[in-house]
A = this chain, B = another copy of it.
Amino acid sequence: MPRPSKHSPERGDARTRLLEAARDIIRTKGYAATSVDELCQAAEVTKGAFFHHFKSKEALGVAAAEFWAETTSAFFAAAPYHAPTDPLGRVLAYVAFRRSIIAGAIPDFTCLVGTMAEEVYATAPAIRDACAASVFGHAATLEADIEAAMRDRGTDARWTAASLARHTQCVLQGAFVLAKAGNNAELARESLDHLDRYIRLLFNCPGKETRT
């Protein structure tokens, strides 16, 4: 029977605590303004433990983006928007679900990887690429339902499912920027209403009349 490393239980916990601290602190104040000391303090780990798990602050940034991709993937996979039997219903339920979780404090509903990409796209390409994998990986999960809705409804679309899937993420990221600038979550929700209306118009499916 292999002898467990003396540190392994603490190690696993410390790593996760550091990634959770990174997620919460970077969403509040950005990547550059977040110090390794601050992350250690919030995670209650030593600086030695930090550098045991991450060879640099940049490596922590990459791991935080990967942790975000992993945890949000699980969250969205378990979300109720997959329930409708109609593919277009699932696409619209996705938008409604994203709208419904824009609530509470701004750091709690905004996007770690959008924020990091905005800030370090030119200075930390490894973090940027991990952020891209998260954003575009999530967008790709919407493609099958959009494709099926296009087949169902026989649209003569000049746009692709992949492009519309990415556009949903564009509207979400822009909605977060506007909510932050205006310090008001309602600014994000109103753009989700426009996105809902756009998708209904594309599929010639009026319905729920949204506010805004």
Contacts and interface: CB of A to CB of B under 8 A. Distances in A.
A159 B167 CA distance: 20
A169 to B, nearest CB: 7
Interface in A78-125: 106-107, 113-115, 117-123, 125
Quickly give the copy total for this chain: 2
A113 B177 CA distance: 10
A136 interface: yes
A17 interface: no
A72 interface: no
A5 interface: no
Interface in A158-209: 158-160, 163-164, 166-167, 169-178, 180-183, 187, 190-191, 193-194, 197-198, 201-202, 209
A106 B122 contact: yes
Given A163-B190, A190-B166, A194-B198, A183 B29 contact: no
Of residues A120, A123, A167, which shows the largest number of chain B Cβ atoms within 10 Å of its Cβ? A167
A149 interface: no
Given A107-B122, A135-B181, A177-B173, A159 B198 contact: no
Nearest to A180: B121
B132 A212 contact: no
A21 to B, nearest CB: 16
Contacts of A30: 30-32, 118-120, 123
Interface string A24-43: 00001111110000000000
A121 B118 CA distance: 13
A211 interface: yes
A181 B132 contact: yes
A182 to B, nearest CB: 5
A158 B207 CA distance: 12
A117 B158 contact: no
A210 interface: yes
